[in-house]
Structure 1
């Protein structure tokens, strides 16, 4: 159950997964750019603690370092691979 504060509504995860507005990242989320076209994803910060996400970060760091010119975390991997990892984390 719970209670709701007037004017505050919780957005669903799917609404926060991608965002076309560069400056809007809700509190508790992180902008991540992945794929050949550097698609922007907005993911929960809690994903940073997940082993599969940490493995992806380690692989990206080994290959490309930590240069993030887009203003968010840049991960050089296939977009579908990134979406696959995110969808698995979402089910947890």
Structure 2
């Protein structure tokens, strides 16, 4: 049952990301196909573009669960906001890129 709930959360997030990307203004940097934008930081938010394949990683899923608990899936910046230290996010994504 948890895997079904998790799959529904991923589909919900993918739907949100698709809508966000469709409503992005022309002044915002483009997001390449197969990627999505996230905003990371505890106070000042920095934008990162990451591969959709990260959605399958348990560590990244944990970050997304924390983001959902804190912000829900209605993000004022138009992308997913992840409330963690930028350094922690960079460490995680560096690890994901090297594996």
TM-score, scaled relative to structure 2: 0.66
Show structure 1 runs of 5+ residues with no match: 1-20
Secondary structure at the counterpart of residue 69 of structure 2: helix
Q: Tell me which protein shows more helix as a share of its residues.
A: 2
- Shift >6 Å, 4+ stretches: none
TM-score, scaled relative to structure 1: 0.70
Distance 1:34 1:24 in 2: 18
Tell me how large the CA RMSD over aligned residues is: 1.4
Distance 1:60 1:68 in 2: 10
The count of residues paired between Structure 1 and Structure 2 equals 72
Larger radius of gyration: 1
Show structure 2 runs of 5+ residues with no match: 1-26
Contact 1:67 1:74 in 2 (8 A): no
Alignment equivalent of 1:22, drawn from 3, 23, 28: 28
